[in-house]
Amino acid sequence: MKFMKLGTRHDTFYTEEANRSVSSDVPSDLTIQINNIKYLLHKFPLLPKCGLLQGLCSDTDNPSEISVVELHLIPGGEEAFELCAKFCYGIAISLSARNIVPALCAAKFLRMNESVEKGNFVMKLETFFNSCILEGWKDSIVTLQTTAQLSEWSENLGIIRRCIDSIVEKILTHPSKVTWSFTYTRPGYTEKRHHSVPKDWWTEDISNLKIDLFQCIIAAIKSTNMLPPQLIGEALHVYACRWLPVTTENTVSQTEEAKEKHQKLLESILIRRAGRQLEEATVRDLLFPSYSSTDRHFYDIDLVGAVLESFLIQWRRKGSPEDSESVKVIRKVAQVIDSYLQVVARDVNMPALKVVILAESLPEIARPQHDEIYKAINIYLKEHPDLSKAEKKHLCRILDCRKLSPQVCAHAVRNERLPLRTVVQVLFFEQERGVRPTTHQPPQDEVIPGDGHQMPIHRDKNYSKSKVSDQTNHPKTMRLDEKLAVELEKMVVARREVREADTKKGQEIREEAKSGSKMEAKKMERKSKSKVRETSS
């Protein structure tokens, strides 16, 4: 495995409680929070190399003031950020196929490119990746394996594609020209002193990859028509022997760990096949019941998320997002997912975070309008009245108020369940595009198309399930003009206060009328009794 070393200074990072600091005579003036770890660092030398930090710290009027920045979304987390920070400080770091992916993704996230400073981190990582990693056989495979933790970033940066191209190029090389080391443990091969490279020399190494990456390599090889089908069949045989259980009578019972690996492999195959057919699916096809003992919600939304993720990986590889056919496909899938969200939103035990994660998994181009996702949010808020303000804001950040139709905007501006900030955004964009907000009574929640439709539930216990870790992509929200936002917010508050006052006054009138009716009834009763007494006398 090849390595690249950068920097010459000794490592001066140290940990004190939950803080990571650098030994220096200069006090820290930059605090960076990543998950539960707080880095107490310095604007110099970080800002000259990090374009993102330059922008985040530019609002400070006093340069000597301590800036606090949250970078929870940095790809690769704390370890990747620390590699970037140590590069800025000139501290010695070692890079290889095992850590170049998170380092490159984090450096791209921090905008450590040539436009910020010459000889920056991204350029050095790209040079090492192209000239060393991709030139090596096992380095390319190991790097490809590490992309699983950052699949979307790796896909967007072209890391996966370039690794696969490098691997396929070497597989198609004639065995007589193979000069790099490879793994080959077939019986009798190592005993031969003067042996030639076997034609299937590559099969064992690529069998370490996950099924989706392995299949991409096999598909790329087949498309070239340069290798005989028997050799491709041998690669499939090696992969099956490595991952699938042997079912002969004399087989010793497998360990729990081995069973779990085989189960995950089979589940990944089922998920990948479902992802290929997601374009043809209906909402009923996605209503998988959850059989987990830890989940209280009925629907297995995690499994749907895994299927959608598999579909998106294949969708991105097939063509450009600008292609009309590609756009048509993703928008069709988005309609199914939004309709699915409208159904699972009725599950009173469905966590809001899971709804947000699934909704945000789709790219922006998938939804030309946000009416359907608004309906899902409205249903969820209706079925979960005890939702906290923070959860409501987190849920409603999915919405792009610019993509709501006038009918839905009319409903949103009077929707008491929405956070005030969301209503203000709707009003702002209505004002911005010159449409006067509707003042008449909007249709009731049940009148919104899709809100009152109840999908039948399938309780087929033969559905398999898979868990995926919660990942979040957080879309940027447009910053509103402060003065206009304040005015709109005042208007919304005033409207709500008037409605509350009207409601209170109406209640008082009803109570007064009710008490008056009782008094009148008592008077009539007393008159009746007096007449009876007069008659008797």
- The reported pLDDT for the residue numbered 376 is 96
SS (H, E, C) 369-388: CCHHHHHHHHHHHHHCCCCC
Question: Are 263 and 394 in the same domain?
Answer: yes
Measure the CA angle with vertex 370, ends 412 and 310; round to 5°: 140
Average pLDDT of the segment spanning 386-408 = 91
522 domain-assigned? no
d(CA 344, CA 338): 10
Question: Are 324 and 383 in the same domain?
Answer: yes
DSSP annotation of 508 reads H
Question: Are 298 and 219 in the same domain?
Answer: no
pTM above 0.75, yes or no: no
- The reported pLDDT for the residue numbered 290 is 81
390 domain-assigned? yes
d(CA 317, CA 272): 14
d(CA 206, CA 214): 7
Residue 89 parent element (H or E): helix 77-89
For β-strands 19-22 and 13-16, DSSP reports them as: antiparallel
Lowest mean pLDDT among 225-239, 243-257, 343-357, 364-378: 243-257
- The reported pLDDT for the residue numbered 160 is 96
Determine the straight-line distance between the first and last CA of the chain, rounded to whole angstroms. 120
Question: Are 142 and 114 in the same domain?
Answer: no
477 domain-assigned? no
Question: Are 55 and 90 in the same domain?
Answer: yes
210, 148 in Cβ contact below 8 A? Answer: yes
- For residue 372, pLDDT over 90 is answered with yes
- For residue 491, pLDDT over 80 is answered with no
- For residue 374, pLDDT over 50 is answered with yes
- The reported pLDDT for the residue numbered 532 is 46
75 domain-assigned? yes
Question: Are 162 and 103 in the same domain?
Answer: no
Q: Which has more pLDDT, 270 or 24?
A: 24
533 domain-assigned? no
Which domain-ending residue is among 432, 458, 492? 432
Question: Are 74 and 216 in the same domain?
Answer: no
How far CA 270 is from CA of 211, 283, 382, in Å, comes to 11, 18, 35
User: What's the pLDDT band for 173 if we cut at 50, 70, 90?
Assistant: very high
pLDDT tens-digit profile of 5-46? 999 999 999 999 889 999 999 999 999 999 999 999 999 999
Please tell me which of 230-244, 265-279, 316-330, 402-416 the model is most confident about, judged by mean pLDDT: 402-416
Question: Are 315 and 166 in the same domain?
Answer: no
- The reported pLDDT for the residue numbered 518 is 55
User: Alpha helix (H) ranges present in 129-247?
Assistant: 137-146, 151-156, 159-171, 203-206, 211-224, 229-243
Residue 43: strand, helix, or coil: helix
- Residue 69 CB burial class (10 angstroms; 0-12, 13-18, ≥19): middle
Question: Are 56 and 150 in the same domain?
Answer: no
Lowest mean pLDDT among 88-92, 102-106, 431-435, 486-490: 486-490
Give the CATH number of the domain where residue 76 resides.
3.30.710.10
- The reported pLDDT for the residue numbered 76 is 96
214 domain-assigned? yes
Lowest mean pLDDT among 88-92, 251-255, 415-419, 436-440: 436-440
Number of domains within the chain: 3
Please give the full DSSP string across 393-449, using - where no structure is assigned.
HHHHTT--GGG--HHHHHHHTT-TTS-HHHHHHHHHHHHHTTPPPP-SPPPPGGGST
- The reported pLDDT for the residue numbered 31 is 96
User: Alpha helix (H) ranges present in 244-293?
Assistant: 256-276
d(CA 146, CA 155): 12
- The reported pLDDT for the residue numbered 458 is 37
Residue 259, token pair as written in the block: 């069973």
Residue 30: domain span: 1-120
Residue 6 parent element (H or E): strand 4-6
104, 129 in Cβ contact below 8 A? Answer: yes
Question: Are 294 and 391 in the same domain?
Answer: yes
Which domain-ending residue is among 417, 432, 447? 432
Question: Are 289 and 212 in the same domain?
Answer: no
Question: Are 297 and 367 in the same domain?
Answer: yes
Q: Which has more pLDDT, 524 or 127?
A: 127
Q: What type of residue sits at position 266?
A: L
Which domain-ending residue is among 432, 454, 477? 432
Strands in 37-41's sheet, in edge-to-edge order, are 13-16, 19-22, 37-41, 30-34, 67-70
pLDDT tens-digit profile of 48-79? 999 999 999 886 666 678 899 999 999 999 99
Q: Which has more pLDDT, 374 or 511?
A: 374
- The reported pLDDT for the residue numbered 186 is 83
- For residue 433, pLDDT over 90 is answered with no
282 domain-assigned? yes
For β-strands 93-95 and 67-70, DSSP reports them as: unpaired
Q: Which has more pLDDT, 468 or 289?
A: 289
Residue 339: what are its φ and ψ, rounded to 5°? -65, -40
Residue 238: strand, helix, or coil: helix
- The reported pLDDT for the residue numbered 267 is 76
Report the half-sphere exposure of 433 (CA within 13 A, side-chain side): 14
- For residue 486, pLDDT over 90 is answered with no
The mean pLDDT of the chain is 82
2 domain-assigned? yes
Average pLDDT of the segment spanning 383-399 = 91
- The reported pLDDT for the residue numbered 259 is 67
How far CA 349 is from CA of 150, 301, 360, 387, in Å, comes to 30, 12, 20, 12
